[in-house]
Amino acid sequence: MADLLLVAGVSLAVAVVVMTLTAIAAVRAGRVSVVDVAWGLALVGVAVACAVIAGDWRSWLLVALVGVWGVRLSSHIFTRSRGHGEDPRYEAILGGALPDVGVGVAVRRVFLVQGAAVWLVSLPLQAAAVSDTPWTWAVWVGVAVWAVGVLFETVGDAQLNAYKRDPDRGPVMDRGLWSWTRHPNYFGDSCVWWGVWLVGGVASGWLPGLVSLLSPVAMTVWLVWITGARLLERTMMQRPGYREYAARTSMFVPLPPRR
């Protein structure tokens, strides 16, 4: 139990430190969307902390899985958002721009929530740090699911970048993976954490797997309904042609386009 409390406490401390530094950076930048860059890095930090405490092969494997995902995601978001203003999703959450609503509102509505989410999503990492590996098969199934998620994220982002560079592009991106799901990057994100749950939670046994199930469920809910697809689509639906695109394309889970 002491090991469990240690791992949980250190994981929480990492989340608090990262979000505190991110809040300071947000004040300097004048926008809270910098938290999207910190999100992946915070989980990488928790993975490293858990692996240092545990010192076993599975925790270090999770460092590699979360590290590839987190560094790629953070670098992509940083490159994409550089030179841009506040994300409309966060203006909706805050009820205005950061300089107008104040730091206190941003801390309550964004940074505390994101810090708690980092700790919750990291439950499989914590489970792996305090448990043996009775179900090794779940590790390799989880790696496969993780790989599907990274593939969707990477290919989806590459296709979107190619679309933005195309001078003859249409009003809506509906090519490649984007013809099967309106949010391949969010779907890939979800798959990554279902894979991490299999590696860290399920491979630890039925009880750690059951408790840490909150992690991929929370991540999926977050991506679909909280700050992800649903919130983004409030803005996207105002674009010409997007409603028609939405009528024929699955929102989240990839499905063949409807006629």
pLDDT in tens, 148-172: 999 999 999 999 999 999 988 889 9
Percentage of the residues of the chain whose pLDDT score is greater than 70: 99
DSSP 78-100: HHHHTT----HHHHHHHTS-HHH
Enumerate residues 6+ apart whose C-beta is below 8 A from 259: 248
- In which band, very low, low, confident or very high, does the pLDDT at 234 lie, cut at 50, 70 and 90? confident
pLDDT in tens, 100-119: 888 888 899 999 999 999 99
Enumerate residues 6+ apart whose C-beta is below 8 A from 66: 43, 44, 47, 125, 196
State how far the alpha carbon of 228 is from the alpha carbons of 34, 58, 105, in Å.
15, 30, 20
Domain spans of the chain, in order of start: 2-248
Q: What are phi and psi of 11, to 5 degrees?
A: -60, -45
How many Cα atoms within 13 Å fall on the side-chain side of residue 89?
19
**Does the pLDDT value for residue 11 go beyond 70?**
yes
pTM, full prediction: 0.91
pLDDT in tens, 126-155: 999 999 999 999 999 999 999 999 999 999
Q: What is the mean pLDDT of residues 35-58?
A: 95
Q: Is the dihedral of CA 217, 221, 227, 233 positive or negative?
A: positive
- In which band, very low, low, confident or very high, does the pLDDT at 1 lie, cut at 50, 70 and 90? very low
- In which band, very low, low, confident or very high, does the pLDDT at 71 lie, cut at 50, 70 and 90? very high
12 compared with 96, residue with greater pLDDT:
12
**Does the pLDDT value for residue 2 go beyond 50?**
no
pLDDT in tens, 171-207: 999 999 999 999 999 999 999 999 999 999 999 999 9
Q: What is the mean pLDDT of residues 13-18?
A: 97
